[in-house]
Structure 1
Amino acid sequence: MTFLARIAKASIAATAICALVACSGPEVATADQDFGPRTAEISDPDPEPIAASPEPSLPVTVRSFDGVDVTITDTSRIVAADQYGTLTTTVYALGLGDNLVGRDTSASFPAVADVTDVTPTGHSLSAEGILALDPTVVLTDTSIGPRAVQDQLRAAGIAVVYFDPTRSLDGVADQIEAVAAALGVPEQGDRLAERTTSEIAAARALAPTDGEPLKIAFLYMRGPAIKMLAGPGSGADALIEALGATDAGTASGVSEQFVAITSEALIAAAPDVILMMTGGLESIGGISGLEQVPGIAQTPAGRSERVVDMADGVVLSFGPNTGKVLDALARAVYDPAQ
């Protein structure tokens, strides 16, 4: 079933439920209401396991994203590492959190705080550090590396499975099902994908359907040296579209996933709302530092300080918490009572 078909099915179900109970979404703001800076937070950052310690059906052979057929015989010691924390989140949501022995830095939710971080310097893997964990399977993708480390792990006899590194709304359910298949719990994968799709559909329904859509710009910043405006294919554009808004970067003519911020680009984008990672906003000195970026003050969002930030390892992870992420963003963007 395609993602759009899943969403359509979930939306019908959500509509039927809302006909029976009082569904509460955010009150849509009027033009004269003042929002100011906000942090979007999900109520519980820990993914909810779809099952309690399911028994994997092993062995299983899957086609790794790099084209190699990999046989998994043991999932008792799992290392999950990608740039976004998606794989660790998915393993936990499948009910196999107790099997995790290694995770990446972006997987920072409380339930895995005691699991060894295999990328403590950022996004670089250490073969020695991972081998010391004696993993039975490593879940990864090309967003993290170096590739020589993953090859070394495979050469050491460890089952290394690559997944699609693309993070998008369309790929959420497929990614969940792919991870579940590799871990021998396909039934749990189907259930988790269905639940996540339903949560996404419910969150999308929070966006207003009348009036001119807001223009939201996603800015990626890391200190004074890295300041980027997102465009098509960044992942942020899918979130913004799901919020019933227009991606300001794409609408202004940006043709790449990320481009360096210039005052001209920001003024042309003219966002009503600026969306950022919390760590990125903090790295430039918060709202006061953002206001010093050339062009920000000339945008509607800059003039009103309508800035929404969300935790770095959450906002673009596109995993089982995606519905919760969209729900929190919708409330931060639209609800004047927040």
Structure 2
Amino acid sequence: MSRRAAASILVLTVVVATAIGACSTAPLDVGSSDTSPTSVPLPDGPRTARLPSADPIPVSPTPTPQLPVTVTTADNRRVTITDVSRIVALDRYGTYGTAVFALGLGRNLVGRDIATKFPAAASIPVVTTGGTDANAEAIIALRPTVVLTDASLPSANVLTGQLTAAGIPVVTGSAGRTVAGTDAQLRAVATALGIPAAGDALVARTDSQIAAARAMVPRDADRPRIAFVYARGTGLLILGGPGSGADSLIDTVGGQDAGTAAGLTDAFTSLTSEGLIKSRPDVLLMMTDGLASVGGVDGLEKIPGVSETPAGRDRRIIDMDDGELLSFGARTGDVAVALARTLFGRP
């Protein structure tokens, strides 16, 4: 399966209040020079990582946009935004729609992608037909004053051209999704919408949450191997590797990406029993709907190779809502805290 096909599948999915439980492993004997890592006891059995709020929590309930603003887009265009009263946000992961709500302008969102799926956005029209293809006519019919999008969508250049020809400002952001790129992404959205101060506040909150998640990781301990498995029934099973986005999140919560450690070079690779066994995951990380599509944990255990891994033997499976796990951006800190808590059994 190609990277494009695998990445396209991800849009069917999608990327806590700050709470910190700093901890450490048992202290070494006084005078000991042994600083080798110790194994971290991970909770056995399946667990679900949950955010404390189904909807993104705005950093400001009523930000006042300072317009007009002119920005340079990721595709090197200069775009001037004079009105943000009708925003359409589109990408594979729901990143922009989530950011609009978290910045406090959710009431201005008039069109969204299928991955922007939290309750507060449920009544907003979806304009990505089939999950990933954006319908230019449907977008234009919404009379947007600005469109936020990126190259993660198929035919993004064509869409931008059609909307620009219709006189609609289109702000194209970076299609990359990593924890490290979150701050720049949030600031870019806030700047384009004329609310840079809200962007700074959202970045500060997100960074604080990521720091809290990292503080939950036991010190001087082995990093558990975590395999991200994407599933849509037993006929579609994909193992994450370098550049999947999940690898960045796994690293943030103190794990090592099992696919990368096993030598994968592609972001997504069709799952085989041999590949899964070779990756030797201590934990399997999945999207909730994906886990359900294979029959839950019991069904997952029947997939060849799963029961032969440390994760399978101890039924150590963590799932998280499809619209949250890889959304990145405004909820990256929330997701990291929820995963760290669940991974290490923190209260």
What TM-score comes out, normalization by structure 1 length? 0.88
1:130-279 aligned at under 5 Å gives the runs 130-147=139-156, 148-279=158-289
For structure 1, the 5+ residue unaligned runs are 1-17
Distance 1:181 1:223, change over 3 A: same
Match of 2:176, SS?
Answer: coil
2:201 aligned partner, one-letter code: R
Q: Give the drift of 1:32.
A: 7.2
Calculate percent identity across the aligned residue pairs.
Answer: 52
Q: What is the aligned partner in structure 1 of residue 9 from structure 2? A: none
Give the ranges of 4+ consecutive aligned residues of structure 1 lying more than 6 Å apart after TM superposition: 30-33
1:278-297 aligned at under 5 Å gives the runs 278-297=288-307
Q: Give the drift of 1:336.
A: 7.0
Q: Give the drift of 1:70.
A: 0.8
- Retained in 2: the 8 A contact 1:27–1:336? no
Q: Give the drift of 1:53.
A: 2.2
Q: What is the aligned partner in structure 1 of residue 3 from structure 2? A: none
Distance 1:258 1:33, change over 3 A: closer
Residue deviations 1:79-120 (CA, integer Å, cap 9, x gap): 001110110111111111111101111111111111111125
1:55-74 aligned at under 5 Å gives the runs 55-74=64-83
Of the two structures, which has the highest relative contact order with CA contacts closer than 8 Å and spacing of 6 or more?
2
Larger mean CA deviation between 228-237 and 208-217 belongs to 208-217
2:342 alignment partner, one of 321, 332, 335: 332
Q: Give the drift of 1:224.
A: 2.9
Residue deviations 1:263-294 (CA, integer Å, cap 9, x gap): 11111111010001112112222112212222
When the two chains are superposed, the root-mean-square deviation of aligned CA atoms in Å is: 2.1
- Which whole-Å CA distance do the structure 2 matches of 1:33 and 1:51 have between them? 38
Q: What is the aligned partner in structure 2 of residue 10 from structure 1? A: none
1:67 aligned partner, one-letter code: N
What TM-score comes out, normalization by structure 2 length? 0.86
Match of 1:228, SS?
Answer: strand
1:38-53 aligned at under 5 Å gives the runs 38-53=47-62
- Which whole-Å CA distance do the structure 1 matches of 2:285 and 2:185 have between them? 25
Distance 1:212 1:162, change over 3 A: same
The structure that is helix-richer by fraction is: 1
- Which whole-Å CA distance do the structure 2 matches of 1:298 and 1:278 have between them? 22
Aligned length: 317
Q: Give the drift of 1:237.
A: 0.9
Distance 1:98 1:31, change over 3 A: closer
